[in-house]
Structure 1
Amino acid sequence: MVSSSEIYLQLVEPSGHLVAEGTWDATLQANCLYECAHLAKPGHRCRLLQGSQEIMPNTALAALDLSLGTCIQVVWPSSSASYIHSQRRAFAAIKADSSIVTCGGSAYGGSAGCGGDSSAVAPLLTDGVVKFCGSSRAAINVDGSVVAWCGGDSSAVAPLLMEGVVQVCRSRQAFAAIKADGSVVTWGSAACGGNSSEVAGLLTDGVVQVCGSSKAFVAIKADGRVVTWGGAGCGGNSSAVAPLLTEGVVQVCGSSKAFAAIKVDGSVVTWGDAGYGGDSSAVAPLLREGVVQVYASLFAFAAIKADGSVVAWGGAASGGSSAKVAPLLMEGVVQVCESHGSFAAIKTDGSVVTWGSALSGGNSSAVAPLLTEGVVQVCGSSRAFAAITVDGSVVTWGGAACGGDSSAVARHLTDGVVQVCGSSRAFAATTVDGRVVTWGDACCGGDSSGVAPLLMEGVVQVCESSRAFAAIKADRSVVTWGSAACGGDSSAVAPLLRDGVVQVYASLFAFAAIKADGSVVTWGSADSGGDSSAAAPFLMEGKFFKQKHRNLCLQQVDLVGNC
């Protein structure tokens, strides 16, 4: 029986897939819903919608209009690879008993290599894997344990990772795992946050979210306090703003060397390297209230406010200054996407505004007439953008060698495109009939001619590493192309990818596929996660992930999307 002080809600994707359901205390803010959604796809941004109204993280649950029903739509906007994303060199698998298994290059938190070779933990990956924890490359087994490779030598903390792990986050060369009791366990390079001993007393309970920069971590506690550790120059030392981080923090975002925290009152606090957005003093008056979302490029941040305006700071040449387009960012912005050195904002009227390095897509003047209305999604590579319009056509701009020039395939991009994803220097577009169109650097997946017959129909999802792509088809087979060294060649495991694949994740140079039976198949660079043979026995089966944390509950969800 749900009490009057509790609200029953369902988080549902547009496809109808139930992400989570449960009851929440009506006194909480919607940030708790975002946390729940992020547990389903850690490392991915999402938007929550009730009807046509977007729910912001600081929206009070009590303010939701329940006359519209209890269904909250979860939308996963496509986003570009950031510096942290492009430095993925490890995998960590969470099993259903919430234990963790790791492997990979010791320099990246693992043993030999960077995750392409998980042979050292293969016996641990043979059963119970249900998902990978987003950018941390963590696979969740039905027993709740975690298996990780390439960035994953967790032997020093193994006893702490045998159960109760609910989320894994990573920096460039380290991991941080949140357990069901709110404690945090870290491993990997001490210089990158793998050693949290100096703040251990603050990480024993109450942690609800962890975010990483390249060499540091920040943890948000249930009472809104923030704890930081790792490289001081990358945000690991927040002492300069400590009084502002003692309460009320609801979200944290990281550039490569700095952090930005949103507080419950809509204000923003920043710290870390000034050249990477750690110093927001130049725009401080604009960040005192009303901020609902923050995005990061390599060197800068962009914040959307409740009135739809945007505030940018950090490296001026890399998106930290939006002065040239300021009048266009005064209202109506609903989403921001980043490349390595620029930003692209979508407005309510479907127009797009860009700023930052022209070499990274910050100058869209060449296609400006095509971006005045109707854009529904923007995706970035390292130095270019691709926008999908309401009619399914695609517009590209930025570095030609990085996918900014799609003229060679323009005739295939005039209608019907429903998804675009980008590697570091190429794009892959999926059409409504399941075809895939690619362009950009051939060595990074821009040329799919070698597998063209397999991409003519039936593709339902495409995932990218830094220089390759992997496509899941309706028959649950996988097709790969791009740099062989980065997972573009899956011939070594081809028999295992002919059927049953339900999800694919990528590290910098490798891929990991979860099959319907919960087993995991990896390929690509052994230094980046492509060989999981050492963990195989622990990745052989298991379909469900169940977790209760605070006032939220993730349902047991079948991997193919059925509860």
Structure 2
Amino acid sequence: TWPGHCKAHELFQAAYKSKPGFLCKLLHGGEDLSPQRDLASLSENLDHLTVVWMSVGVNKTTLQHAHPAFAALKSNGSVITWGDADYGGDSSRAEHGLQEGVVQVVGHGFAFVAIKSDGSVITWGDADAGGDSSHVEHRLREGVVQVAFTSWAFAAVKSDGSVIAWGDAEAGGDSSLVEHRLQEGVVKVVANGWAFAAIKSDGSVITWGDASEGGDSSLVEHRLQEGVVQVVGNDQAFAAIKSDGSVITWGHADYGGDSSHVEHRLQDGVVQLAFTSGAFAAIKSDGSVITWGLAASGGDSSLFQHRLQEGVVQVVGNEGFFAAVKSDGSVITWGDAEANNSDIERQLAEGQVVGNGFAFAAVKSDGSVITWGDADAGGDSSLVEDRLRKGVTQVVVNGSAFAAIKSDGSVITWGETDVGGDSSHVEHRLQDGVVQVVGNGYAFAAIKSDGSVITWGDASKGGDSSLVELGLQEGVIVVVS
């Protein structure tokens, strides 16, 4: 039983304490409760809240700087780090705060942030890029429910709807110009490479950071006052979907901040946005796709427009390419591709399509894998082709290599050898039991079913975890980079 003035965030914190190492959603019927929700506003059936537990992780694209370090979160709420010491591989300065109670870790290319079950935040890594949060430490001692990041800064959303930013001022670490608008009501913060966008509970959006790359939204401010339901960012621009299915863009014009030439097609019906480093793609409810931004990053799909008029169910992007999956299982790719992909597209059935900065891999419905793009970065998988013909359930990427997890828990790698494409020295440990693989820009880390971790790739940037090997023998539930 909870008093009527109690807010949902108190339940979130109680849940975190009961199950360290996991995040959760609170559902009231079909409604996903935000931490700011007053329980008194739930008029009935308050005794029937549903807790949905989620293993924590981070959805990280290749668009920000590749992080040369890893952080492992253990089931006891502790954190172990390795890799480049200057950029978060050495957490000794913050070690006292990382012994217990951590529920999530996020990082950009230069630093890490850990959120604890009491809502406090611990930071380490490059001081100028957010590894040092001492000037806002008093505001980060409780109530933090989300942390977003640009290439050089962090922003934390608190349970009271306020936002705190730190790190490089020009990349969003200084929010003083809009601070009065960030005191309450924020439900989510989204980042691109150099700026932040905060979505408020009334559907309005507030931005800060590098003005030319999305931090200044004054030209479209009148359209961002209400009704925004989603915001996504690429390297230097933002795009927002409104509740009426229209799209608003701002930021660097060349990177998709200017969508005026397709604006008439973005007035309604948009249901999903995808992005590469320099372009956006919108999927409409009729299955058509509209693109804009840098042509070399997929902003120009005119050569394939006749195939993108209907039937598209998903679009994914990497550094420079888009891949659209159609309802019939076919795939269309465009952007900075070096090869003619028509033969590959004809072979593909429904499945997972992933990419690093230079190449794609697709898992077909029969468990086989097809690759294309830059040969050295994983587009050529001929050396392991016989092992990729069946049984693959997932493919993971880093900057220039791929790792495939098979149904028997084994792992196969290919791509640039120095950054993880060659796993021969740990191959005997990757024969079974692997449940997760994570890549940074330079290395891979695999978690096994017994909670142990195996690493390979560039030794100085996370591929060698021998210094913390004892701590990685058991209990690891997630690795982030």
1:184 offset after TM fit, Å? Answer: 0.8
**Is residue 96 of structure 1 aligned with residue 75 of structure 2?**
yes
Question: Does the CA contact (< 8 Å) of 1:26 and 1:62 recur in 2?
Answer: no
**Is residue 517 of structure 1 aligned with residue 454 of structure 2?**
no
Q: Secondary structure at the match of 1:536?
A: helix
1:542 offset after TM fit, Å? Answer: 3.1
Could you say which residue in structure 1 is the equivalent of 2:329? 392
Q: Secondary structure at the match of 2:231?
A: strand
Consecutive unaligned residues in structure 2, runs of 5 or more? 12-21
Question: Does the CA contact (< 8 Å) of 1:80 and 1:380 recur in 2?
Answer: no
Q: 1:118-161 deviations in whole A, cap 9, x for unaligned?
A: xxxxxxxxxxxxxxxxxxxxxxxxxxxxxxxxxx2111111111
Could you say which residue in structure 2 is the equivalent of 1:274? 211
Could you say which residue in structure 1 is the equivalent of 2:18? none
TM-score after normalising by structure 1: 0.76
**Is residue 349 of structure 1 aligned with residue 281 of structure 2?**
no
In angstroms, what is the RMSD of aligned CA positions?
Answer: 3.2
Aligned 1:481-560 pairs, distance under 5 A: 481-542=414-475
**Is residue 430 of structure 1 aligned with residue 363 of structure 2?**
yes
2:406 to 473, 483, 496: 473
Q: Secondary structure at the match of 1:344?
A: strand
Q: 1:282 to 1:427 in 2, by over 3 A?
A: same
Q: 1:220-257 deviations in whole A, cap 9, x for unaligned?
A: 11100010111000000000111110001110111111
Could you say which residue in structure 2 is the equivalent of 1:371? 308
1:528 offset after TM fit, Å? Answer: 2.5
Q: Secondary structure at the match of 2:226?
A: coil
Q: 1:478-526 deviations in whole A, cap 9, x for unaligned?
A: 0111111221111110001111111111111111111111111111111
Q: 1:63 to 1:392 in 2, by over 3 A?
A: farther
Aligned 1:243-322 pairs, distance under 5 A: 243-322=180-259
1:171 to 96, 100, 108: 108
Q: Partner amino acid for 1:159?
A: H
Q: Secondary structure at the match of 2:460?
A: coil
Relative contact order (alpha carbons < 8 A, sep ≥ 6): 1 or 2 greater?
A: 1
Distance in 1 (CA, whole Å) between partners of 2:187 and 2:226 is: 13
Q: 1:23-69 deviations in whole A, cap 9, x for unaligned?
A: 55789964459xxxxxxxxxxxxxxxxxxxxxxx9xx9969999xx9
Q: 1:253-287 deviations in whole A, cap 9, x for unaligned?
A: 11111101101111000000012110101110111
TM-score after normalising by structure 2: 0.89
Q: Partner amino acid for 1:105?
A: D
Distance in 2 (CA, whole Å) between partners of 1:27 and 1:79 is: 24
Question: Does the CA contact (< 8 Å) of 2:404 and 2:412 recur in 1?
Answer: yes
Could you say which residue in structure 2 is the equivalent of 1:81? 61
1:205 to 129, 142, 155: 142
Q: How many residues align?
A: 460
Question: Does the CA contact (< 8 Å) of 2:27 and 2:50 recur in 1?
Answer: no
Q: Partner amino acid for 1:199?
A: V
Q: Secondary structure at the match of 1:242?
A: helix
Could you say which residue in structure 2 is the equivalent of 1:135? none
**Residues 99-108 or 357-366, more deviating:** 99-108
1:466 offset after TM fit, Å? Answer: 1.1
What percentage of aligned pairs have identical amino acids? Answer: 51
Consecutive unaligned residues in structure 1, runs of 5 or more? 9-18, 34-56, 110-151, 546-558
Q: Secondary structure at the match of 2:468?
A: helix
Q: 1:20 to 1:243 in 2, by over 3 A?
A: closer
Aligned 1:391-470 pairs, distance under 5 A: 391-401=328-338, 405-413=340-348, 416-470=349-403
Q: 1:176-209 deviations in whole A, cap 9, x for unaligned?
A: 1111111111111111001111111111111111
Q: Secondary structure at the match of 2:383?
A: helix
